[in-house]
Amino acid sequence: MFKQPARYSDVMLTLLVWLATLLVVGLFAWLVGDLILHGYSKLNLAFLLDVPQNAGREGGIAPILVSTLLILAVALLATLPLGLATAVYLSEYTNGALANGIRMSLNILAGVPSIVFGLFGNALFCIWLGMGFSIWSGGLTLACMMLPLFISTTESGLSAVTNEWRHGAAALGLSHTAALWQVLLPAASPAITAGLMLSIGRALAETAALIFTSGYVDRMPTSLSDSGRALSVHIYDLSMNVTGGDASAYGSALVLIITLMVISGIAVGLTNRFLSQRITLS
């Protein structure tokens, strides 16, 4: 489709685009390279299975990994249904003032600094709802932060699906529910996947909010109402607070990145499984 005789402006754009991508990949390589340089010595099975010792400088991060995954699970359990429902409502059911109002609210929520969310989560979940420092509080606070991101991208994806598809579905006699599930959501799946990946990334990367809600305790959680230290909080404590914690901090950062890759891989796989098999956009 693209075989044309090359013109000057074409070559310029190609060059520009390649350069931009190379720059981005280069920066990424620099960053991750630095992490690997400082942290690879900590990457072994013992690190993943042991408990932290000596304020985290020795031993492993097993309880912290478990806490992080539990917090993420709680956050996703809250975000996915709420987010999908709101995005569907915004794109299919409302228009005008109400939709704009909700959209504005979401954008404002997206711009609230993470530390304010931490204080909010502390006030609402820890104190007012009485959950205290716990995985519940951390997960629900993270859900508040993930929602605007997820809803924006999902709604954007749904709105981008042309009305012809909806008319076609109606003409075929499909109910709204069927049209949604069989036609619209699959068509919007690139955007939903992007939103999911960004949200999971944001959740795993969040530090300030979790210090005030899920806390600092590095013990293996035995219930969701236990306080549990998230990986990002652990990295923060080791690099900024504990003397000599740098190596463990970098090691934990590498583990976090690998965890992110694994979880995103699963999330993308599941989304493709559920949605894309019905419709392929060439």
Q: How far is the CB of 201 from another protein (least distance, A)?
A: 3
Given a contact cutoff of 8 angstroms between Cβ atoms, the answer to whether 68 and 214 are in contact is no
What length is written for the chain? 282
Q: Which of 75, 237, 248, 251 binds another protein (CB under 8 A)?
A: 237
Q: How far is the C-alpha of 71 from the C-alpha of 134, rounded, in Å?
A: 9
Q: Is the dihedral of CA 46, 50, 52, 54 positive or negative?
A: negative
The reply to whether 276 sits near another protein by the rule CB under 8 A is no
With respect to another protein, which residue has the nearer C-beta, 42 or 237?
A: 237
Restricting to residues 60-119, which ones interact with another protein according to CB under 8 A? 70, 73, 77, 81-82, 85-86, 88-90, 92-95, 100-117, 119
Q: Which of 137, 152, 248, 271 binds another protein (CB under 8 A)?
A: 152
CB of 42 to another protein, least distance (A): 14
Residue 39 identity = G
Residue number with CB closer to another protein (48 or 78): 78
Determine if 43 is a binding residue for another protein (CB under 8 A). no
Query: Is residue 57 within 8 Å of residue 238, measured between CB atoms?
Result: yes
40, 44, 46, 244: residue in contact with another protein (rule CB under 8 A): 244
Identity at 98, one-letter amino acid code: L
Closer residue to another protein, CB minimum distance, 14 or 44: 14
Backbone angles phi, psi at 53, to 5 degrees: -130, 155
Distances (CA, A) of 282 to 43, 162, 251, 279: 41, 16, 41, 10
Smallest gap, in angstroms, from Cβ of residue 82 to another protein?
Answer: 5
Q: Binding to another protein by residue 235, rule CB under 8 A?
A: yes
23 binds another protein (CB under 8 A): yes
| Residue 168: partners with Cβ closer than 8 Å, 6 or more residues away | 183
41 binds another protein (CB under 8 A): no
Q: Where are the beta strands (DSSP E) in 119-271?
A: none
Asked if 172 is part of the footprint of another protein (rule: CB under 8 A), the reply reads no
